[in-house]
Amino acid sequence: MQDTDPTPASRIASLTDWLRLESARGVGLRTAHQLLAAFGSPRAIFQAGHDALAAHLGPALARALHAPPSQATRTLIDTTLAWLASPSHHVLALGDVAYPQALANIPDPPLLLYIRGRIDLLARPALAIVGSRNATVQGKANASAFAGALSDAGVCVVSGLALGIDAAAHEGALRGTGSTIAVVGTGADLFYPARNRALAERIANEGCIVSEYALGTPPTSGNFPRRNRIISGLSSGVLVIEAAAQSGSLITARVAAEQGREVFALPGSIHAPLAKGCHQLIRDGARLVETVKEVLEAMQVSPLASVPATSSTNALPTESACTELLAQLGHEPLDVDELLERLDTNISQLSMGLLALEMAGMIERLPGGKVQRIHI
Amino acid sequence: MQDTDPTPASRIASLTDWLRLESARGVGLRTAHQLLAAFGSPRAIFQAGHDALAAHLGPALARALHAPPSQATRTLIDTTLAWLASPSHHVLALGDVAYPQALANIPDPPLLLYIRGRIDLLARPALAIVGSRNATVQGKANASAFAGALSDAGVCVVSGLALGIDAAAHEGALRGTGSTIAVVGTGADLFYPARNRALAERIANEGCIVSEYALGTPPTSGNFPRRNRIISGLSSGVLVIEAAAQSGSLITARVAAEQGREVFALPGSIHAPLAKGCHQLIRDGARLVETVKEVLEAMQVSPLASVPATSSTNALPTESACTELLAQLGHEPLDVDELLERLDTNISQLSMGLLALEMAGMIERLPGGKVQRIHI
């Protein structure tokens, strides 16, 4: 599939609609979700009549949505399509087969995910590691050691590419097969903070960088807290290594708990300022952990499970695997679960195969977890 | 009351019965509790007929109980009465008004408590502090600081006079008004371990030493674990400062939890061997604490409450207070709760007054929390 044009016409049209929706003035994420719930897809929203849209948005916003895209939006669409020419760049829209199911289930999932690097990592068991930017040497060593051991067990370590605990966790995780995902608060084409540029480039090459922000979005203070819901949303749990009382890591942990994720916290001395946040979390119900083994047991991941590293930075399946998948798909809408039973594969491999076919415009996703072959 | 003979005839007779019961061969603590539940008092047990006793004990033990006390038992009785000649020495029997109610409510309360020093401390709000004998310097500093602050708030700190955390807790608590109780695993007339002799003498003078073991009982390994149930039994909670995994402090904490006491634990570094026990307790439901304030809040003791120190080492009430109490008692059995309402006093002072009168043979305790004046 590597030789197939990664952005066929149907895919371009769909992506254009998503970018128009996300760029529409006055339409925030919450409104976009309401419109998607009402109409089903960006295409259906733009095809809806004025009265139907106005019932949700009022007449002014409905008229604005019906207007042709602005120059800025057209430039963004062009920039995004050009960026997607690189085989290691991807955009997933909410509802795409490869869009991580765990993230899709949070209350406010991103409409689009910009992905740079190994998109296959999105299908791995994942754990977030977060903590203070002003971490101690011991805290950073703990973050790196936990991340390395989790990654060795095949768990992908998710963090936010900040200084301190985040950077140490990414670095530790890059050593193992589980690798790492950095969820950034800027466009996926930018590197921030500057001090982590070398690390960010390594993650782009060996791991995966994820952003919900349009390409070129500069760092703004409001975007970083929003980004935290994706860090926990991609993960089955959040491990807090060091955190001051009333710090941002505690907000991440609270959001994670609201998303139903397990929160883990490392204890420390009663005299250590950066243990206070972790102790507060433990008082509030977080699981106190001393070892990686405890985290893996809680995640129900065997510490002995070793997932082979993928050598390619673009881990889409081979053409023969896709041909077999297409053959199984037949000509009727098919449930993904049923497909999984028919094929000698796992959900991760199947998702990647379906993603490749979807990006090639050869299948489409239908409501209710079904997929169908497109006959051209 | 200080000039009154502390061991009048009725008191001597009662104590003799208790010592005979406790010294009886083949009658352990559990059997003694069964007999007390059946017959009501040691006196009633010894006055019971052979068949009634044999129904509980079998004929051989029943015959042994009816036999006159052995020479060893008579010597013990003499030794105990001689020891009681010191005004700072006391023996409380289960059911005595001054026997601490919290301890009486555990499943296996001691029949007798030998007390050396300030018996008034038994009526204070109390917290146990326990931990490793091989504590770190920081652990001992934490124990001393927590104990000092608790004692400053009027809380009596209970521990086991062992090396390490126990000793540091006693030393810290001696600085404040709450003072300290050392529950020892030998006779109350012995000092063990030798390295804590100076501390034990200070506690005997300024605080209180408590033992359930007959005078002269040497240190034996089995007695120290049994002693731990008294440490927690006297306390409303147990604070574990440092403890290795699978150490004795964890057993004390488990017993405390079984007694319905709150367990508190100080966290520490994941790399500290003596934090592992505390972390296990926190995982099992113990309350993680960083400050004394949290402990006081959980105990519902105000950190500002300051109880004046008692200057006397023998804090029995004045003669005038006892006279007033006797006047209120009148001639009918009276409920202690009703007595408390009539008098301008608190339960602690009232208990001490009743104890003084009981020890002077001027009142007797009746079933159902009632007391009655004895007319001689």
Is B45 a domain residue? yes
Nearest CB neighbour to A290, from listed B138, B266, B270: B270
Handedness of CA A97, A103, A107, A108 (dihedral sign): negative
Spatial distance between the Cα atoms of A16 and A77, rounded to a whole number of angstroms: 6
Contact B282 A269 (CB under 8 A): no
Residues of A in contact with B281 (CB under 8 A): none
Q: Which residues contact B155 (CB under 8 A, 6 or more apart)?
A: B124, B125, B126, B127, B178, B296, B299, B301
Residues of B in contact with A131 (CB under 8 A): none
Is A95 a domain residue? no
Contact B290 A276 (CB under 8 A): yes
Mutate to test the interface with A, among B144, B288, B294 (most CBs of A within 10 A): B288
Nearest CB neighbour to A266, from listed B138, B270, B288: B270
Helix, coil or strand: residue A188: coil
Average the pLDDT over B275-290 and give the result.
Answer: 97
Q: What is the DSSP letter of B67?
A: S
How high is the pLDDT of residue A376? 54
Q: Give Rg (Cα) of chain A.
A: 21
Mutate to test the interface with A, among B290, B294, B295 (most CBs of A within 10 A): B290
Structure tokens at A294: 């405890």
Contact B267 A287 (CB under 8 A): no
Mutate to test the interface with B, among A242, A262, A283, A290 (most CBs of B within 10 A): A290
Query: Do B215 and B253 share a domain, yes or no?
Result: yes
Is A48 a domain residue? yes
Closest-approach residue (CA) in chain A for B274: A269
Query: Do A276 and A229 share a domain, yes or no?
Result: yes
Closest-approach residue (CA) in chain A for B281: A288
Is A96 a domain residue? no
Chain A nearest CA to B275, separation (Å): 9
Query: Do A168 and A208 share a domain, yes or no?
Result: yes
Contact A142 B270 (CB under 8 A): yes
**Under an 8 Å CB criterion, which residues of A touch B?**
138, 142, 266-271, 275-276, 279, 282-283, 287-288, 290-291
Residue A151 contacts residue A181 (beta carbons within 8 Å): no
Closest-approach residue (CA) in chain B for A264: B283
Does pLDDT of B343 surpass 80? no
Spatial distance between the Cα atoms of B119 and B129, rounded to a whole number of angstroms: 19
CATH number assigned to the domain comprising residue A244? 3.40.50.450
Chosen domain end from B299, B334, B362: B299
Is B106 a domain residue? no
Handedness of CA B130, B136, B139, B140 (dihedral sign): positive
B82-118 pLDDT, tens digit per residue, is 999 999 999 999 989 899 999 999 999 999 999 999 9
Domain ranges, residue B356? 319-373
User: Mean pLDDT, chain B, as a whole number?
Assistant: 88
The b-or-e profile of B309-334 (16+ CB within 10 A means b, else e) is: eeeebbbbbeeebbebbeeebeeeeb
Closest CA to A105 of A260, A238, A251: A260
Q: Which residues contact A234 (CB under 8 A, 6 or more apart)?
A: A100, A102, A103, A122, A126, A128, A158, A181, A183, A210
How high is the pLDDT of residue B335? 77
Residues of B in contact with A281 (CB under 8 A): none
Nearest CB neighbour to A288, from listed B142, B271, B279: B279
Closest CA to A45 of A62, A60, A28: A62
Residues of A in contact with B271 (CB under 8 A): 138
Residues of B in contact with A268 (CB under 8 A): 267-270
Contact A270 B275 (CB under 8 A): no
Does pLDDT of B44 surpass 90? yes
Query: Do B18 and B152 share a domain, yes or no?
Result: no
Query: Do B133 and B269 share a domain, yes or no?
Result: yes
Query: Do A281 and A325 share a domain, yes or no?
Result: no
A290: amino acid identity, one letter: E
CATH number assigned to the domain comprising residue A338? 1.10.10.10
Q: Compute, in degrees rounded to 10, the torsion defined by CA atoms A176, A179, A184, A188.
A: 130
Number of independent structural domains in chain B: 3
Spatial distance between the Cα atoms of A122 and A351, rounded to a whole number of angstroms: 10
Contact A267 B290 (CB under 8 A): no
Interface confidence: ipTM more than 0.85: no
Closest-approach residue (CA) in chain B for A141: B271
Chain B nearest CA to A10, separation (Å): 53
Is A290 a domain residue? yes
Residue A116 contacts residue A208 (beta carbons within 8 Å): yes
Chain B nearest CA to A126, separation (Å): 23
Closest-approach residue (CA) in chain B for A270: B290
Chain B nearest CA to A270, separation (Å): 5
Does pLDDT of B155 surpass 60? yes
Contact A269 B270 (CB under 8 A): no
A158: amino acid identity, one letter: V
| Report field, pTM of the whole predicted structure over 0.90 | no
Rounded to the nearest 5°, which phi and psi values hold at B102? -60, -40
Query: Do A292 and A324 share a domain, yes or no?
Result: no
Residues of A in contact with B131 (CB under 8 A): none
Contact A268 B267 (CB under 8 A): yes
Is A110 a domain residue? no
Which of B108 and B362 is assigned the larger pLDDT? B108
Query: Do B154 and B281 share a domain, yes or no?
Result: yes
Residues of A in contact with B275 (CB under 8 A): 267
A218-264 pLDDT, tens digit per residue, is 999 888 889 999 999 999 999 999 999 989 899 999 999 999 999 99
Chain B nearest CA to A284, separation (Å): 10
Handedness of CA A270, A274, A275, A279 (dihedral sign): positive
Closest CA to A131 of A283, A289, A253, A235: A253
Chosen domain end from B299, B328, B354: B299
CA distances from B330 to A79, B257, B323, B324, B374 (A): 99, 42, 11, 11, 10
Query: Do B289 and B367 share a domain, yes or no?
Result: no
Chain A nearest CA to B250, separation (Å): 17
Residue A333 contacts residue A301 (beta carbons within 8 Å): no
Does pLDDT of B5 surpass 60? no
Contact B291 A276 (CB under 8 A): no
Contact B288 A287 (CB under 8 A): no
Residues of A in contact with B287 (CB under 8 A): 283
Which of A142 and B344 is assigned the larger pLDDT? A142
Q: Which residue has the tokens 């500057």?
A: A194
Does pLDDT of B327 surpass 70? yes
**Under an 8 Å CB criterion, which residues of B touch A?**
138, 142, 266-271, 275-276, 279, 282-283, 287-288, 290-291
Q: Compute, in degrees rounded to 10, the torsion defined by CA atoms B90, B94, B96, B102.
A: 100
CB pairs under 8 A between A and B: 47
Query: Do B51 and B151 share a domain, yes or no?
Result: no
Closest-approach residue (CA) in chain B for A273: B290
Nearest CB neighbour to B266, from listed A142, A270, A287: A270
How high is the pLDDT of residue A347? 67
- Write the burial class of residue A331 (CB in 10 Å: 0-12 exposed, 13-18 middle, 19+ buried): exposed
B204-248 pLDDT, tens digit per residue, is 999 999 999 999 999 998 888 889 999 999 999 999 999 999 898
Q: Which of A228-237, B317-326, B357-366 has the highest mean pLDDT?
A: A228-237
Does pLDDT of B3 surpass 80? no
Is B313 a domain residue? no
Closest-approach residue (CA) in chain A for B142: A270
Chosen domain end from A245, A266, A299: A299
Spatial distance between the Cα atoms of A220 and A206, rounded to a whole number of angstroms: 27
Number of neighbours of residue A262 by Cβ within 10 angstroms: 18
Positions of chain A with pLDDT under 50: 1-4, 304-315
Q: Which residues contact B42 (CB under 8 A, 6 or more apart)?
A: B14, B17, B18, B20, B21, B36
Structure tokens at A161: 């590419």
Residue A355 contacts residue A98 (beta carbons within 8 Å): yes
Query: Do A244 and A328 share a domain, yes or no?
Result: no
Contact A267 B283 (CB under 8 A): no
Query: Do B295 and B325 share a domain, yes or no?
Result: no
pLDDT tier, B316 (very low <50, low <70, confident <90, very high otherwise): low
